[in-house]
Amino acid sequence: MTYLVVACQVLTALTFLAAAVGKLRTRAGYAAFVAELGSWPLVPAGLRPAVARAVSAAEAAVPLLLAVPATRRAGAAVAVLLLAAFLTAMVVLRTRGADARCTCFGRRPATLAARHLVRTAVLLGAAVTALPGQGTGGPAALGGALIAAGFGALGALVAVTLDDVAEAVAPTPAPGTTPIPRS
């Protein structure tokens, strides 16, 4: 269990690091994130700047908290709360048929799709698994911990690039035809 916890901590930390950096690295990126909140009708227009600040700050806090042994549980708990809120909002928006977009990692927005719900649910599961902090079964051996961290990093890479991968493997329409929207 110790190695699974390590992998989930790394997965969670790197995914939230990518989300925070994607939103906060430039003023334009942050402004785009605030603007995209407009496609989420659950967030009233007057609250969008405050929600954007709170989400960005919490996303930036998760990897910092997970990096320090004494605060790992707190970091995982913040991640669980954020991911549960994101997943709930996504389910509500999809149920209502809203045309919401995801700017999860600060790149171009993607229309909220089933893959975003699956990714968020998997990340939520990883954050819950990271909650024990140190894991059970004693301290991890360095070699095993490095391998587990590598798997966590690989998982984060998949999570962060999911939209790019989905776009790359989507069938391209024949010339002169209209593509069918996917979700």
Chain segment 26-76, per-residue pLDDT in tens: 898 888 888 888 878 888 888 888 999 999 999 999 999 999 999 999 999
- Predicted TM-score (pTM) of this structure: 0.85
CA 154, CA 147: separation in Å to the nearest integer?
Answer: 11
b vs e for 154-182, b when ≥16 Cβ sit within 10 Å of the residue's Cβ? ebbeebbebbeeeeeeeeeeeeeeeeeee
Residue 174 confidence (pLDDT): 63
Q: Is the pLDDT of residue 175 over 80?
A: no
Q: What is the pLDDT of residue 99?
A: 80
Cβ neighbors of 182 (< 8 A, separation 6 or more) are 113, 170
Contacts of 38 (CB under 8 A, 6+ apart): 45, 48
Give the pLDDT confidence score for residue 59 in this predicted structure: 96
Q: Are 12 and 59 contacting, i.e. CB atoms less than 8 angstroms apart?
A: no
Kindly indicate the confidence band of residue 166, based on its pLDDT and cuts at 50, 70 and 90: confident
Closest C-alpha to 79, from 91, 90, 87: 87
Condensed to tens digits (0 to 9), the pLDDT of residues 114-147 reads 899 999 999 999 999 998 865 555 666 888 889 9
Query: How many Å apart are CA 163 and CA 8, to the nearest integer?
Result: 21
